[in-house]
Amino acid sequence: MQFTSQFLDKFKKNNATESKQREKFLISAKNWLKLLPLLIILIPFGEIITRLLVEWFWFQEVNYQGVWLKRLITQLGLGGGVFLISALFLGINFNLAQKLQFTDSEEDSPSKLVLGKMNLRSLLIVIGLICLLISLMLIHYLQVSVYLIESGFNLPLLENIVDISGLSENYEVNNLNPFLSSPFKLQLVKPLLERVMTSQWQILLILAIFAILLMRISFWLKSFAVIINVFFTVTIALNWTKVLPFLYRTNFELFDPLFNKDIGFYIFSLPIWELLDFWLGGLFLYSLLAVSLMYLCSGNSISDGKFPGFSYPQLRHLYTLGGMVFLTLSLRHGLARYELLYSERGAIYGASYTDVQVQLPIETLLSIVAAVTAVWLFWHALTHSMRFRIKGRSHWLGFILYIGAVILGITLSPIAQRFEVLPNELEREQPYIERSIQLTRAAFGLDQIEEQRFDPEDTLTREEVEANQQTISNIRLWDARPLLQTNRQLQQIRLYYEFADADIDRYTLRVNIDDPENVSKRTERQQMIIAPRELDFNSVPKQAQTWVNKHLVYTHGYGFTLSPVNQVGEGGLPKYFIKDIGTGQEEAAGDLRTKSPQIRDSIPIGKPRIYYGELTDNYVMIQTKQPELDFPTGEDNAYNTYDGKGGIPIGSWWRRSIFAQYLKDWQMLFTQNFTPETKLLMRRDIKERVKAIAPFLQFDSDPYLVTADTEDTALGPPENSLHWVIDAYTISDRYPYSDPGSYRFNYIRNSVKVVVDAYDGDVQFYIADLNDPIIQSWEKVFPNLFQPLWQMPITLKAHIRYPVDLFKVQSERLLTYHMIDPQVFYNREDQWQIPQEIYANEARSVEPYYLTMKLPTEQREEFILLLPFTPTERNNLTAWLAGRSDGQFYGKQLLYQFPKQRLIFGPEQIEALINQDPVISQQISLWNQQGSRAIQGNLLVIPIEQSLLYVEPVYLEAERNSLPTLIRVIVVYENRIVMAKTLQGAIDAIFLPEDSDTPAIIRPVEEVTPSLEIETQE
């Protein structure tokens, strides 16, 4: 018994102890749970603070803190203002609706019920429609917000839910991408529903919204109000790029022909009004729907199977909100009047006959009706007393008038287009066609193109060829594709190096240095291909892809190759003026090997390390205890420590913690390799770098490397000779009557040249087009961001060139808009196309190509960008466009048109002549033996004096381990085709055949011309 008693006492004590422990645990757990909401708030708040600090440090490094601060203050002001105003408006309306809701006792008081009695079926239908509209609003505003966040912060995971109804995705230059938020409107209901039906997650979202709304209506309506308010806040804040230029807008001093408003109104002001419509229209509509749903579901209406009707106070509330909705509808139709200038109805882009004569009056009427209805609703909301009873259908009058006007617009415009315009389309649309032609040409800069007639003559002589020797010596035999293939075989040196791109440029070379008697010519300009040797860490062997190697050792690329476009080395390989990396045997370790002392004196090389480039997409730490891999020296490697001025100091523990959190790289906290001088280099991808500073600009898809001595300017000390040049554009989709074609913009200017130091990462923005009102406005917004072009170092300015992306856009628009006669334009009598060529045995469109040549009206050679055109469904040459790049002529364009009554061979016809020739085609077939293939390169059309020369290189490459070699050059002139081993040999065979000692295949064109002539002549 004593033992049992002791055992029970001990058991009770253990139970008591365990009970106390459980109580302590529960208390502790409850305390931690109380902290959970605080953690939920602190974690995103900490993320925001971290991001802000990182942005501050980074903009401090690039010396553009003022730009970032102004942008941040603007975004916070816009977002905060929109959020507070929306929250206040929604809060007042929800509180008022809660006070005016029916209770169970009030629902049976018939004296308070005025309007809207419904049975259960009608009630459920109305509730279902309101829930559907709320669901579609949520989806639409979610997509708009996510689109902006994804495009602004580069979040590819969000791409699948971004499919905004009403926005076209059809544009060709995908890096030029403006966007304007689309308001929620009735026209979007159908495409939204169609989208929902094909998207499982959107169907589930709508079903979930229906279910939770019916469970707790008031709570979820308020929750959705918060969500929609966040969408409004995000959208307006991220549209700061429209707000700031509006505040500093510059007039175009050009006026639209319909409303006689300055073009600046459409570029700067109209987007702001559309943003207001987006915000206020959604805010008022959601408030009306939510309050209506709260009233319909108040009391026991659903359980009782009927809705007894709205009370006077409820009606006054709904009238007020309805008046606000009709005010935004009035604004929407007022804006729609101006948006007719972007109409796609009719024969042209912009306001057509039907738009001006029918749709414009209807939109004006709709705006007036909506405004009058809004005033009528406000009047009833203010003047109705509890004793006044609404009789008849007066409450539907404004709505009926508005719907009637909408139906009138929907039906009358198509009828007018079908029966009035189409039978007399040219007569009706002629003045509007003239407007579209004029303004499209102005928006794309086509009206600045100088047009001249070019009538090729069959009179080119040997003397004229010799007089144009600089043009001949710069004919491009090598293009980027075979050169890059060769570089990857011969110049890559190590697996981790990569030649991502090669660019055409021109350099001035010293000549006759060793000939003191020849002082007539000391320098000459030579067209070159420059290819940077960048570091691609993805190519490092997997076993070596450690954290230390990725962020501390493999930090930069090294050097570049420089090749003349027209010279061939041993074995048909490219000739290199600059190549390799010195190992300390023939050249000093780390020096790039140059062909001659003249090249070494002509081309500055400096520090050829590339810390910032096109492949540098990861962050690195420099000035650490771990030496950086500099370059290979035979079997060993040379190491280096970065001594440039780039980078963000992270030597202190708190800075290291901030960047570890931002980069989600916690090894930064534990590594022992950092020193107090350690710096972080981030945003080393040059496109990402410039986009982070100036997101309101659009950037060319092809940055190019320049090696130039900048003489200790803001771009860095003289030894930093490598710089990236990026063309930047200002674009808009709001230029009236300007036809965008397949693009998402209808105005473009190459307004800025950006220069990025490849070693230090310094970024400089130079204004290249002072006449562009958009860049003038941005210069007012950020006066310390831009510099005039004349402040660019002259050695760099010598390398700016007409940008390819802009040239492509203008060329595509010129195919149609070179026709300025309305009747010719309407009938498309002179429509052009970009010709096709055979490249690597595949047909493809001819790409614009850079060329050093003397224009027919000029006295000296210059660097131009050229593209030929042919008529639609014809292959003969009809014109060629030249974009000029040198000196005072930079940015100017010349269009040379050929006589239409003569057959001028186009690229496709020349290709056909070459491939149909039995001797040449037989020789090419012999090269196409098993294991190798002949590749016909770019066919170039070379204007010389008043004649045309056609040149096509032929390469031979193995099917495996491709190493292209130049084996032949084909030259076509007038009545002869020549294929020779060298360009000079082919030219000699044509113009001086009796003195030519170069074996060549010479074929007369006449043998294959007749079939082509029948095919191309009208």
Answer whether residue 123 shows pLDDT above 90.
no
Question: Which among 744, 727, 620 has a CA at the least distance from the CA of 678?
Answer: 620
pLDDT reported for residue 932: 83
Token pair recorded at residue 47: 């993320």
Helices then strands, each counted (H, E), the chain:
30, 38
Enter the DSSP assignment of 446: G
* CA–CA separation, 991 and 319 (whole Å): 89
Strands 113-115 and 310-311: antiparallel
613 backbone dihedrals φ, ψ, rounded to 5°: -160, -155
pLDDT reported for residue 22: 60
> Could you tell me the pLDDT band of residue 32, with boundaries at 50, 70 and 90?
low
| Residue 395 exposure: Cα atoms within 13 Å on the Cβ side | 18
Instruction: Find out whether 840 and 880 touch, Cβ atoms under 8 Å.
Output: no
> Could you tell me the pLDDT band of residue 174, with boundaries at 50, 70 and 90?
very low
> Could you tell me the pLDDT band of residue 774, with boundaries at 50, 70 and 90?
very high
Answer whether residue 636 shows pLDDT above 80.
yes
Report the percent of the chain where pLDDT is more than 90.
45
Separation in Å, CA 891 to CA 723, 864, 872: 21, 10, 28
* CA–CA separation, 561 and 495 (whole Å): 17
Of the ranges 217-221, 469-473, 799-803, the best mean pLDDT one: 799-803
Answer whether residue 840 shows pLDDT above 70.
yes
pLDDT reported for residue 433: 94
End-to-end CA distance of the chain: give it in Å, rounded: 125
* CA–CA separation, 233 and 302 (whole Å): 35
* CA–CA separation, 232 and 80 (whole Å): 11
Instruction: Note the maximum CA span of the chain.
Output: 135
Answer whether residue 799 shows pLDDT above 90.
yes
Token pair recorded at residue 1004: 């007369």
198 backbone dihedrals φ, ψ, rounded to 5°: -105, 5
* CA–CA separation, 716 and 593 (whole Å): 24
Answer whether residue 110 shows pLDDT above 90.
no
Of the ranges 72-76, 152-156, 605-609, the best mean pLDDT one: 72-76
In degrees, rounded to 5, the angle at the alpha carbon of residue 939 between the alpha carbons of residues 936 and 943 is: 155
> Could you tell me the pLDDT band of residue 887, with boundaries at 50, 70 and 90?
confident
* CA–CA separation, 989 and 1003 (whole Å): 11
pLDDT reported for residue 34: 58
The identity of residue 733, as a single letter, is D
pLDDT reported for residue 177: 39
This prediction has a pTM of 0.87
Lowest mean pLDDT among 250-259, 364-373, 422-431, 840-849: 840-849
Burial class (CB in 10 A: 0-12, 13-18, 19+), 587: middle
* CA–CA separation, 827 and 811 (whole Å): 20
Burial class (CB in 10 A: 0-12, 13-18, 19+), 212: middle
pLDDT reported for residue 87: 94
- Each residue's pLDDT tens digit, 207-259: 777 777 777 788 888 888 998 898 889 889 989 999 999 999 999 999 999 99
Burial class (CB in 10 A: 0-12, 13-18, 19+), 640: middle
* CA–CA separation, 987 and 1015 (whole Å): 29
pLDDT reported for residue 521: 57
Question: Which among 122, 353, 151 has a CA at the least distance from the CA of 234?
Answer: 151
Of the ranges 155-169, 254-268, 873-887, the best mean pLDDT one: 254-268
Instruction: Find out whether 992 and 1016 touch, Cβ atoms under 8 Å.
Output: no
Lowest mean pLDDT among 320-324, 811-815, 905-909: 905-909
pLDDT reported for residue 200: 67
- Each residue's pLDDT tens digit, 331-364: 999 999 999 999 988 889 999 999 999 999 999 9
In a 3-state reduction of DSSP, which class is residue 852? strand
Question: Which among 181, 79, 198 has a CA at the least distance from the CA of 140?
Answer: 181
Separation in Å, CA 606 to CA 500, 527, 709, 719, 760: 22, 21, 8, 4, 13
* CA–CA separation, 386 and 381 (whole Å): 11
843 backbone dihedrals φ, ψ, rounded to 5°: -80, 135
> Could you tell me the pLDDT band of residue 72, with boundaries at 50, 70 and 90?
very high
pLDDT reported for residue 362: 92
Instruction: Find out whether 242 and 256 touch, Cβ atoms under 8 Å.
Output: no
Report the percent of the chain where pLDDT is more than 70.
82
pLDDT reported for residue 1011: 41
Residues 6+ apart with CB under 8 A from 688: 154, 617
Per DSSP, helices labelled H in 946-998 are: 983-991
Instruction: Find out whether 940 and 950 touch, Cβ atoms under 8 Å.
Output: yes
pLDDT reported for residue 263: 96
> Could you tell me the pLDDT band of residue 612, with boundaries at 50, 70 and 90?
very high
Answer whether residue 284 shows pLDDT above 90.
yes
* CA–CA separation, 790 and 797 (whole Å): 8
Name the E strands within 436-594: 450-453, 497-498, 503-510, 523-532, 534-535, 557-558, 560-564, 578-579, 593-594
- Each residue's pLDDT tens digit, 509-567: 887 645 545 544 577 889 999 999 999 999 999 999 999 999 999 999 999 999 999 99
